[in-house]
Amino acid sequence: MLCGLLLLQAAALALAWDTFVVPHTAGADDTPGLLSLVTNHSSDATILFSKGVTYNIFTAIKFPILTNVEIRIEGNLTYPTSIEEVQAVVGGLQGFPGSWFTFSGGNNVTLRGSTDPKWGWVDGHGQAWWDAVQQVNRPHGWAFSHITNGVIRDMKLFKPVAWSFSTSGSNNLHVFNNKILAVSDTSSFPFNTDGFSAGGNNLLFENNHIENGDDCLTVGSGAHNITWRNSYCEGGHGLSIGSLGKGGAVADVQNIHIESTLMKSCLYGARFKSWTGGNGLARNITWKDIAFIDVPFPIYVTQNYWDQGVGPKPNSSDTLNNTHIQDFLFQNFVGTIRDKPYVEGSCVSDPCWYAVPNATGREVAILDLYPGTATNVVVKDVFATTQTLRPVAVMCNSTAVTNDVGFKCWNGPFIRTKAGF
Ligand SMILES: *[C@@H]1O[C@H](CO)[C@@H](O)[C@H](O)[C@H]1NC(C)=O
Ligand SMILES: *[C@@H]1O[C@H](CO)[C@@H](O)[C@H](O)[C@H]1NC(C)=O
Ligand SMILES: *[C@@H]1O[C@H](CO)[C@@H](O)[C@H](O)[C@H]1NC(C)=O
Ligand SMILES: *[C@@H]1O[C@H](CO)[C@@H](O)[C@H](O)[C@H]1NC(C)=O
Ligand SMILES: *[C@@H]1O[C@H](CO)[C@@H](O)[C@H](O)[C@H]1NC(C)=O
Ligand SMILES: *[C@@H]1O[C@H](CO)[C@@H](O)[C@H](O)[C@H]1NC(C)=O
Ligand SMILES: *[C@@H]1O[C@H](CO)[C@@H](O)[C@H](O)[C@H]1NC(C)=O
Ligand SMILES: *[C@@H]1O[C@H](CO)[C@@H](O)[C@H](O)[C@H]1NC(C)=O
Ligand SMILES: *[C@@H]1O[C@H](CO)[C@@H](O)[C@H](O)[C@H]1NC(C)=O
């Protein structure tokens, strides 16, 4: 009997899952207390930011390796309001871990926000940075790195300084119900406020809401088996693969499925970008059921991404190495192309960094490809109109891609071909 009780107690202890509340001191930096708490309880624990408290995350944190841990954000979190204070941390001699919140790895880790609309916000005070066009020593937001079996849910970022989430080196993640609001209240632009930077394997992103000033999703080299669906992107630079192959890098991106997303007033809808001189392969990538409203470049593929500031666009006839692309499908794209004159907020050069020579502004698809490096690129079930109701156009060079791309491959009006139905 006694023995049985002890066994029960032992079992209860083994299953013990405790919740630990992050300590808070008004006016002081709560990061050291947070780090101490997580270090003390890096397994089988919930680390709770309490509702009703605004925590001061005045310095960056690098979490230890975590096992069976939930970081639960029911309170608000605030960065320093002072740009200089953040810059001192990012540029500091102590060594900045790369992001304001950096995970270094672990198993079964959940990062969870609040469903209360008033609480659970992480406020980066980005507006001051955007207004000052301050781009020195900007911190990335959340690096959910090297986690196996992880969840990011219900997180809410308000005015992040720049880049929001990245998942490099992680496996088996579910990232859902998150919200990023990187919207400027002034005419200044929220530069580099990327939403989700997807790296790693077997990741599912869904039901995310992003309003920002750069890529909504960006899939980097090394990413495999990634699904993104049922989401909303507004104001940014599209559902992107890349950029790949910068500085001769060898890319490897495979099995990416992007589906059911509304692109509202974004510069791009679906986008692929690789630099000339790179190498490697991006294959089996599908963008499907994409609705777009007020988007200048609904489908844009370039193997010739380059830095306008550095010199002229490399000639596509040069036989440089290139990231090969294979089996790209753009299916069921419905919406309106922005063809009224406008200048996107990130344009600070003349011509703009996104200007395409000889484009009419009415292109539903631009395929800027290198001969012999692109196979099986198909665009089908496209239903697009322009805001001015002028005919929809395309750009495509038939010497660079030999399969039926779903429309007449030329620089001219959009004419559907067999593969396009
Ligand atoms: C972590 O553990 C140390 C040593 O037991 C203790 O002094 C410290 O207060 C703990 N930190 C927190 C935040 O509980
Ligand atoms: C993983 O973590 C969750 C809490 O986030 C916990 O409920 C679950 O039991 C953990 N899974 C395992 C296998 O320990
Ligand atoms: C939490 O932070 C957000 C973003 O700064 C803010 O809008 C909200 O009012 C805050 N919540 C409370 C209860 O102060
Ligand atoms: C990707 O998914 C396929 C099919 O489910 C699987 O065979 C493969 O191992 C996965 N790749 C990685 C890197 O997990
Ligand atoms: C292509 O990727 C999808 C996931 O997006 C996967 O289900 C399918 O098996 C892959 N096909 C090939 C031929 O690798
Ligand atoms: C590309 O070719 C054109 C015409 O031959 C030439 O004027 C231009 O300088 C070349 N650009 C580069 C980057 O080599
Ligand atoms: C198509 O590409 C070929 C070879 O790269 C080039 O010579 C030709 O000028 C291009 N055509 C157009 C219309 O750009
Ligand atoms: C092309 O790639 C191969 C293999 O990665 C490399 O050996 C070669 O130097 C590259 N050539 C150029 C012009 O970059
Ligand atoms: C733009 O069009 C003109 C006239 O057709 C042509 O001479 C020129 O090569 C084109 N430029 C590019 C970059 O395709």
DSSP string, 104-163: --EEEEEEE--SSTTSSEEE--HHHHHHTT--SSPPEEEEE-SEEEEEEES-EEES-SS-
Q: What is the DSSP string of 357-393?
A: TT--S-EEEEEE--TTSEEEEEEEEEEEEETT-PPPE
Q: Is residue 222 part of a domain?
A: no
**DSSP state, 407?**
B
Q: What is the pLDDT of residue 284?
A: 98
Residue 246 lies in a domain: yes
List pLDDT tens digits, range 93-109. 778 999 999 999 999 99
* Residue that terminates a domain, selected from 184, 214, 244: 214
Report if residue 43 sits inside a domain: yes
* Residue 310 predicted with pLDDT over 80: no
Same domain assignment for residues 203 and 339: no
Question: 78-94: per-residue pLDDT in tens?
Answer: 999 999 999 999 999 77
Q: Which ligand 9 atom sits nearest the alpha carbon of residue 358?
A: 1
Structural domain includes residue 226: no
SS3 sequence, 204-240? EEECCEEECCCCCEEECCCCEEEEEEEEEEECCCCEE
Q: Assess whether 69 and 132 both reside in one domain.
A: yes
Average pLDDT, the chain: 94
Strands (DSSP E) found in 237-373: 239-244, 250-264, 268-275, 279-295, 297-305, 324-337, 363-368
Q: Answer whether residue 225 is part of any domain.
A: no
Evaluate whether 292 touches 261 at the Cβ level (below 8 Å). Answer: no
Is the same domain home to 363 and 246? yes
Residue 342's pLDDT is what?
Answer: 87
In the prediction, which pLDDT does 404 show? 98
Do 190 and 242 sit in the same domain of this protein?
A: no
Is the pLDDT confidence value at 369 over 50? yes
The pLDDT of residue 181 is 98
Domain stops at, among 214, 248, 270: 214
**Looking at the predicted structure, is the pLDDT value of residue 1 above 50?**
no
pTM of the model: 0.93
pLDDT at position 319, please?
A: 56
- Say whether both 178 and 286 belong to one domain: no
Which pLDDT does position 13 carry in this prediction?
53
What is residue 307's predicted lDDT score, i.e. its pLDDT? Answer: 75
Counting residues of the chain whose pLDDT is more than 90, the rounded percentage is 87
Q: Is the pLDDT of residue 59 over 90?
A: yes
- Domain edge (last residue) among 214, 247, 269: 214
Measured from the CA of 23, which atom of ligand 1 is nearest?
Answer: 13
Does the pLDDT of residue 12 top 60, yes or no? no
- DSSP labels for 66-105? EEEEEEEE-SEEE--S-HHHHHHHHT-TT---SEEEEE--
Do 206 and 239 lie in one domain? The reply is no
Q: What is the mean pLDDT of residues 204-226?
A: 98
State the average pLDDT over residues 305-326: 75
pLDDT one-digit tens code per residue, 267-304: 999 999 999 889 999 999 999 999 999 999 999 999 98
pLDDT at residue number 306? 79
Q: Say what the pLDDT of residue 351 is.
A: 87
Domain assignment present for residue 224? The answer is: no
**pLDDT, tens digit (0-9, with 9 covering 90-100), for 126-181:** 999 999 999 999 999 999 999 999 999 999 999 999 999 999 999 999 999 999 99
Ligand 3 in contact with 78 (CB < 6 A)? no
State phi, psi for 288 to the nearest 5 degrees: -135, 145
So what's the pLDDT on residue 95?
87
The CATH number of whichever domain residue 325 belongs to comes to: 2.160.20.10
Nearest ligand to the CA of 127 is 3
Range of 381's domain?
Answer: 235-421
Residues 172 and 25 in one domain: yes
User: Is 219 within the bounds of a domain?
Assistant: no
Residue identifier of the C-alpha nearest atom 14 of ligand 2: 68
Residues 239 and 203 in one domain: no
Asked if residue 94 and residue 3 are part of one domain, the reply reads yes
Ligand 7 pocket member 411 (CB < 6 A): yes
- From 219, 284, 325, 330, give the residue whose CB has the most ligand 5 atoms within 8 Å, as the site to mutate: 284
The string of pLDDT tens digits covering residues 45-56 is 999 999 999 999
Q: Does 140 participate in catalysis according to the annotation?
A: no
Task: Kindly list the protein residues whose Cβ atom lies closer than 6 A to any atom of ligand 1.
Answer: 23, 33, 36-37, 40
Same domain, 198 and 275: no
How many structural domains does the chain have?
A: 2
Domain match, 202 and 316 both: no
* DSSP 8-class letter at 418: G
Q: What does the pLDDT average to over 186-201? A: 98
Determine which of 23-32, 65-74, 346-355 has the lowest per-residue pLDDT on average: 346-355
Per-residue confidence (pLDDT) for residue 320, from 0 to 100: 66
Query: Is residue 220 situated within a structural domain?
Result: no
pLDDT at position 7 over 80: no
- On whether both 394 and 252 belong to a single domain, the answer is yes
